[in-house]
Amino acid sequence: MLIINNLVKNYGKFKAVDNLSLEIGKGHIYGFVGANGAGKTTTMKIVAGLLKPTSGSVVVAGMDILKYPESYKNKIGYMPDFFGVYDDLKVPEYMDFYAGVYGIEKSQRAKLTDELLELVNLTEKKDFYVDNLSRGMKQRLCLARSLIHNPELLILDEPASGLDPKARVEMKEVLKELKDLGKTIIISSHILPELAELCTSIGIIEKGKMVVSGTIEEIMQKTSQKRVIRVKVLSELEGAVKILKEQPSIGTVNVHNDYLEADFHGTNENMAEILKTAIKNEIPVVSFTEVDRNIESVFMHLIGGEGNEN
C-alpha cells in the first residue's frame, strides 16, 4: 500500500530524512516511532504531498506520488500533528465542507457524516460549534474528517499527542475500530508502548534514519538472539563485573546504580554456571534474572545506543 524508497529530505544542509525506506502492506498498522526531531513529521508530510522529497520515491497504492500528484491524494487521509479548525462552523458543517472538497455529492454527505461521527463517538456533539469541542474531540473530529473520502491509507501524525489518559484511551478505541475495518494506517508516536498493542509492524527512526523496521515478530527475533541478564548485588559490584567479563558467553556489561546488565549469548546451562561462579567467589548476589524481552525493552535497548549498529 505504501512503499518508501531511499527517501531523503534536506533542509539546506540539514538532513531531516536520510535514505529512509519502508514498506507497509495492505491492512497493516505501521507504528512509526522516534524521538522528537527524528523526522517522523517530515516523512509523513512528504507522503501527504505537502513537502517535496529531495530524492527518493514514494508509492501509494501503486501510484508514484510525484507522477500522480493529484489523483493519489484521493487514496490518502492525513491527520497532521498540529491542525486548526474553522471556528464558525458546526460539527456537521465542518464535515460537509471537507466532503465537498473531496467532491462527494451533497445527497450522500449527511449520511456519511453521521456514520463517521458515530465511529469517532461524536454523535452527541452534532449541534456544537467545532470551536467549542475539547481538544480530544477536535482530534477525533479531524480523524473523522480524514476518513470522509474513504481513503485506503491513513497517515496519522501523533493522533494522541496532547491528550489526557482518558482521551488517549478513547482515541485508541477508535483506531482499533479502524484496524478492524481493514484500513492501512501509518501512525507516528514518540512513545512506543502507546503503539505496541495496536501495530502489526513498527519502524524506529532516529536522526532521519530507519534504525529497525519490520513486523513485531521480526523485530523481536532480530534482537532476541541476544539475551540480557540482570544481576543485583549487595556490594562488590566491581568484582561481579570482573567475573562476568571473564565468562565466554557474556558480551558487553553495563553497570547501573546498584545492578548490572550483561548481554548473554549462551545456553541455560551457561547461565546457571555463571551464577554458581559468582557465588563461589563470594559475591553477595541479591537477584539474578533474565530481562524480560518485550517490545518496549527492545525499543529502549535500541534507542539506548546499541541499535545504531544495525
Partner 1 sequence: MKINPVVEKELKTTMRGWRAPLLISLYLGFLLLVIYLYFLANDQLYTHGLQSFNPRVAINAFNTLAFFQLLLLLFITPILTGGAISSERERQTLDLLLCTSFSTYKVVLGKIFVSIANILLLITASLPIMGIVFMFGGVEISNLILLFFFYIITALMLGSLGVFYSTIFKKTIVSIVMSYLTIGLLTFGTYIIMALFYFFFDGFRTEPKYHELVAFLFANPLFGFGTVIEETASNSSVFGALVILSKGDFAAKIIIKSWMINLGFDVLFSALLIFLSARRLKHVK
Instruction: Say if strands 29-33 and 201-206 run parallel, antiparallel, or are unpaired.
Output: parallel
81 binds Mg ion (CB under 5 A): yes
C-alpha cell belonging to residue 227: 539475551
208 touches partner 1 by CB under 8 A: no
Annotate each residue in 38-67 with x if it binds Mg ion (CB under 5 A) or - if it does not, as one string. --xx--------------------------
Residue 45 C-beta-side C-alpha neighbours within 13 Å: 17
Kindly state whether residue 62 participates in binding partner 1, applying the rule CB under 8 A.
no
String marking each residue 216-255 x if it binds partner 1 according to CB under 8 A: ----------------------------------------
**290: Cβ contacts below 8 Å, ≥ 6 apart:** 227, 228, 229, 230, 264, 271
**Best CA proximity match to 207, nearest among 78, 305, 65:** 305
Helix intervals (H) in the chain: 40-47, 91-101, 106-119, 135-146, 165-180, 193-196, 216-224, 237-246, 268-280, 295-303
Cell of 20: 529512509
When CB distances to ligand ATP are compared, the closest residue is 41
Closest distance between ligand ATP and the C-beta of residue 293, in Å? 26
- Contact partner, 128, from partner 1, ligand ATP, Mg ion, none, Cβ < 5-8 Å per class: none
DSSP class of residue 161?
T
285-290 vs 153-157, strand pairing mode: unpaired
What is the C-alpha to C-alpha distance for residues 93 and 97, in angstroms, rounded to an integer? 6
CB of 302 to Mg ion, least distance (A): 19
Binding track, positions 185-224, relative to Mg ion; x by CB under 5 A? ----------------------------------------
**Is the CB of residue 280 less than 8 Å from the CB of residue 177?**
no
Q: Does 83 bind ligand ATP (CB under 6 A)?
A: no
Residue/partner pairs of 168-173 with CB below 8 Å, 24 or more apart = 168/194, 170/121, 170/136, 170/140, 171/136, 171/139, 171/140, 171/143, 172/198, 173/121
Q: Which sign, positive or negative, has the C-alpha torsion 307, 231, 196, 80?
A: negative
Is the Cβ of residue 41 or residue 139 nearer to Mg ion in the bound state? 41
Q: How far apart are CA 200 and CA 214, in angstroms?
A: 9
Collapsing DSSP states into helix, strand and coil, what is residue 231? strand
Closest CB 250 distance from ligand ATP, rounded Å: 36
Binding-site member from 3, 35, 61, 89 for partner 1 (CB under 8 A) = 89
Residues numbered 177 to 206 that lie near ligand ATP (CB under 6 A) are: 190
Q: How far is the CB of 178 from ligand ATP (least distance, A)?
A: 21
71 binding partner 1? (CB under 8 A): yes
Taking CB under 8 A as the criterion, which residues in 93-122 touch partner 1? Answer: 93, 96-103, 106
When asked if residue 23 is in the footprint of Mg ion (CB under 5 A), the reply is: no
Residues that bind ligand ATP (CB under 6 A): 11, 14, 16, 34, 36-42, 81, 190
Residues that bind Mg ion (CB under 5 A): 40-41, 81
Residues that bind partner 1 (CB under 8 A): 45, 48-52, 70-71, 73-74, 76, 78, 80, 82-86, 88-89, 93, 96-103, 106, 142, 145, 149
